[in-house]
Every structure is written in structure tokens, then in C-alpha cells.
Amino acid sequence: MKKNSIMVVEDEEKIARLLELELEYEGYTVTKVMDGMEAFQVYKNVNWDLILLDVMLPGISGIELLRRIRLHDKNTPVLLLTAKGSVEDKVSGLDYGANDYITKPFQIEEVLARIRAALRTKAVEQTQEDSNSLTLADLKINQKTREVFRGEEQIELTPREFDLLVYLMTNKRHVLNRDQILEAVWGYDFIGDTNVVDVYIRYVRRKMEQPNKPALIHTVRGVGYVLKKAK
């Protein structure tokens, strides 16, 4: 079973060591960092499951570190460690995307409970995202948000182009004729030429198949089209 990886960013040695020992005892893989600037570099090199982040840090503050993290990553849970009564830190942290905060001094049982809750929430959200995602090679479609990516590049499609690509993707590696595509994407009552399929296939190809990207939509001469990785 995979151990969850947690980065603890805390400049008070006793607190950092306590968190490290308790989290490792619970089965987590822990990396301890004591400086804000160093933590940002460490953050970029690992796919973290959770970050436990003190607000008061040398280098850059925990709030600034959180802001930088959220520019790159909206999903990794971040729990803030804040001073007792520091309402401003709590509000700023939540505004910048913290998932929760824990007030010092804290009971370790509370920290562990909040970590478990954050990881459960992340797992549920990941499952929901996976159920909405369609992928082939470096092509990824999120049906809920209607976003399309090839690698890191987002592709802007019209509603009809998006529906066409989703239909091809849900039937990837299956050859589809024009009538099948027309019925599924345009509907039973569409009045017009099946050439509209060819036109929209060209539109989608033009947007997603740049010279440095391998073709994914293939023409099957005399039949129709298929979405698949080239051999």
C-alpha cells in the first residue's frame, strides 16, 4: 500500500521533530523543511499528498509560500499552522487556498484527524475527477469542465467540436462512419449533408494536431474516422 507523502514546513525544531515522529509512526512518508524559500524548491520536486505549513517562517512566510504553491497546484491539500488568536493569518490562508488551519499549541490527535479528513476529501475529489476524464496518449478531456488538453497545452473547442471529440474519444479505436457520427453529435433530426462531419473533423484536427504532435484522428478511407494512437 502506498504511503502518503507529507511535507512539514516548520521552523521550530521541537515542533517539527514532534510532527515528523508522530506522522512517521502513523505510516506517512515525511519530509521536514524549516525555511520558506527552501520549501518551495522542495515542493516542486515531489508530487505531495499533503503539506503541513507553518505561517511564520524564515525566507518567505507561509502565506506567501501558499500563494506560490496555488499558482502551480490547486489540488494538494495544505493545512496551516497558525498562532493562537491570529485571525488575520487564518483568513489570509483560507483566501489563498488553504484547506484547513490548526491553531498552536495543538494536540497531535487533532493534527492527525485533520490530515486524515483532508486526505479523504482529496481521494473523493480525485475519484470524481477520474470519472469525468477521458484520456488517450497525451490527450485529456474533462467532461464536467469541458476542458481539453494535449500535454500541458489547453485546446479551445467550440461546443460542437467538443461534442464531436468526446464521441470519438468514448469510441476510441473503433472506426465510426459519418452517419454514426452525424446521428450521435448532430442528432436524428439533422437536415443537411454528411460532409459537415468532414468539415468539423478538419476543424478539430487543425486545433489539436500541431506539427510536433502525433496524429490521433485517422481517416479510414471509404468508411469514416477513428481516434487512436498511431503505431
Joined grid coordinates for residue 116? 486524515
Render pLDDT for 145-200 as a digit per residue (tens, 0 to 9). 899 999 888 999 999 999 999 999 999 999 999 989 999 999 867 777 778 999 99
Query: For residues 140 and 146, what is the distance between their CA atoms, to the nearest angstrom?
Result: 10
**Where do the H-state alpha helices sit in 104-214?**
108-131, 159-170, 178-185, 195-208
Which tens digit of pLDDT belongs to each residue from 190-228? 777 778 999 999 999 999 887 777 899 999 998 999 999
Q: What's the CATH number of domain 5-129, 3.40.50.1220, 3.40.50.1100, 3.40.50.2300, 3.40.1280.10?
A: 3.40.50.2300
Mean pLDDT calculated for residue range 83-94: 82
Angle, helices 159-170 vs 178-185, to 10°: value is: 120
Residue 1 has pLDDT above 70, yes or no: no
| Separation between Cα atoms, residue 198 and residue 205, nearest integer Å | 10
- CATH 1.10.10.10 residue ranges of the chain are 134-227
**66 and 79 Cβ atoms separated by less than 8 Å:** no
134-227 topology per CATH = Arc Repressor Mutant, subunit A (1.10.10)
Neighbours of 13 (CB within 10 A): 10
> Higher-confidence residue: 23 or 126?
23
pLDDT over 70 at 92, yes or no: yes
Q: What are the cell numbers at 43?
A: 515542493
What gap in Å lies between CA 34 and CA 59, rounded to an integer?
9
3-state SS assignment for residue 164? helix
| Residues in Cβ contact with 164 at an 8 Å cutoff, skipping those fewer than 6 apart | 181, 185, 200, 201, 204
- Between the two ends of the chain, the Cα-to-Cα distance in Å is 35
CA distance 113 to 55: 20
User: What's the mean pLDDT when you consider all of the chain?
Assistant: 90
Every domain of the chain with CATH number 3.40.50.2300 lies at 5-129
The pTM assigned to this predicted structure is 0.60
